[in-house]
Amino acid sequence: MSAFDPESIDVVACDVFGTTVDWYSGVRDTAAEVFGPLGVDLDTATFADDWRAMYLPALEQVESGARPFANLDVLHRESLDRLLDGHGVDRLVGNDARERLVRAWHRLPAWPDAAEGLARLRGRYVVATLSNGGLAMQTRLMKTTGLPFDCILSADMMRTYKPALQTYRGAATLLDMDPARILMVAAHGWDIDGARGAGLRTAFLERPQEKGPHRNADRADDTTSDLAVTSFIDLAQQLGC
């Protein structure tokens, strides 16, 4: 890892799901609340895990052009329907319960270091989200978490998903910024790889618990990034904020 000059960037762009907020706990807990009264006997941790595992293949359908752009709520609902059907609980879970599960992704807990780390980064940089979540979804999510972003950037502005190059390049165009002056922060190797390929600088933020206890989270060592950090506070420190 080469020395990184904090002056070489103007914008810190943050992935959201897994990197900034804890989707695993949030989705698992909402699933427990929804399934309990309906008598749905599924392990909610495995359910959260399995639902998220359908995410990248769903994005790939859009990126490959196999289907037209649809926002993440639509993709979540489709994969949820398939998942419930696969578990044979299709008839137990009505439309309202499904909508509530889809909206669980709009109300997730922030990782404990996010508020302080982002606030410190904001003192020096423009701090944006850059997420595959839609603008509406992210806006509600940040309103409930209270996290202090300067602006929200969403895949639906570009009508394509990360890791497609155009998502990162489109964000740079909206930010009116050379991609090399944007630092992408993410807990996923595929996002770091996409950002690097689009000419952004990268910081891998390790979230060992991102996928819960059953799956291994991505690790910094498995990809190439300009920085490797363990929290937003660590990132702020490494950048001298």
Residue of 21, 48, 80, 152 that binds its own copies (CB under 8 A): 152
Residue of 19, 20, 44, 71 that binds its own copies (CB under 8 A): 71
Q: Closest separation between CB of residue 64 and its own copies, Å?
A: 23
DSSP per-residue letters across 103-134:
HHTTS-PBPTTHHHHHHHHHTTSEEEEEESS-
To the nearest 10 degrees (0 to 180), the angle between helices 44-53 and 72-86 is 130
Does the footprint of its own copies cover residue 70 (CB under 8 A)? no
Residue of 21, 48, 142, 239 that binds its own copies (CB under 8 A): 142
Q: Closest separation between CB of residue 136 and its own copies, Å?
A: 4
Q: Closest separation between CB of residue 152 and its own copies, Å?
A: 5
**Residues 198, 179 contacting (CB under 8 angstroms):** yes
Compute how many residues bind its own copies; rule: CB under 8 A.
25
**Quick one: which segment of 29-37, 38-46, 171-179, 214-222 binds its own copies (CB under 8 A)?**
171-179
Cβ-count burial 134-172 (b if 16+ within 10 Å, e if not): bbebbbbbbeebebebeebbbbbbbebbbbbebbbbbbb
Does the footprint of its own copies cover residue 206 (CB under 8 A)? no
Does the footprint of its own copies cover residue 175 (CB under 8 A)? yes
Does the footprint of its own copies cover residue 157 (CB under 8 A)? yes
Residue of 15, 22, 73, 218 that binds its own copies (CB under 8 A): 73
Task: Tell me the chain's radius of gyration from C-alpha atoms.
Answer: 18
Write the interaction track for its own copies spanning residues 10-49; mark x where CB under 8 A is met and - where it is not. Answer: ----------------------------------------
- Adjacency order of strands within the sheet including 182-186: 151-154, 126-131, 11-14, 182-186, 201-205, 227-229
Q: Closest separation between CB of residue 16 and its own copies, Å?
A: 13
Does the footprint of its own copies cover residue 177 (CB under 8 A)? yes
Closer to its own copies at the Cβ: 133 or 163? 133
For 142, list phi and psi in degrees, rounded to 5.
-75, -25
**Residues 10, 177 contacting (CB under 8 angstroms):** yes
Between CA 237 and CA 241 the distance in angstroms is 6
- Give the three-class secondary structure for 24: helix
- How far does the chain reach from its first CA to its final CA, in angstroms? 20
Does the footprint of its own copies cover residue 219 (CB under 8 A)? no
Structure token pair of residue 3: 């020395």
Interface residues with its own copies (CB under 8 A) are 71, 73, 126, 128, 134-140, 142-143, 150-154, 156-157, 173-177
